[in-house]
Structure 1
């Protein structure tokens, strides 16, 4: 029934599959570690406002220069939103770098992760 070659080929195929699985699992662990530590900072065009966003794009910090008291609140509001948008764009770029450094941004899995990630971090656009 088995002539030896078929069994050896099947065994080699299973070994290759296992190696590939273990490699992808290691890449996934590395990516998870990199993504867990992501954050980004954005600044308003005038530099009076600085915000920090966490790995999910959530606002985790905000710094307002005292000079913001001298400007209309509508200006401060616009500049906060601009700083958040800038921070989220930086975060998306860091995510791209993390994916590219592990799975590869051009891999099928990398593209799928980035598509979902960037869709949730586009500043509401």
Structure 2
């Protein structure tokens, strides 16, 4: 999704995940290498390593999914993705980001890192 929304600009992006088979596969590792994405994985048996992802999963269920009915799983996936890209990332304010939406917060961090010569950004 980062490649699609940022016009392919993923070099140095860090993607954090658990150690699920889809994220540890050779094909996924090759794709990340090709895109310049740095893989980061939580420790085995440490739920706290994925606290941010778990918090997001809870939030999307409470704020979006449980408030609607979907005719199919495909519709649910499409509408959830649209909510993320059309509301959550560009407009929903986050207290952990100083009251900024994620896209604005990431842009500020990216600009600050460019000024200070740092390469990596959060996914």
The two structures share one fold, judged by TM-score above 0.5: no
Bigger-Rg structure (1/2)? 1
**Superposition TM-score, scaled by structure 2 size:** 0.25
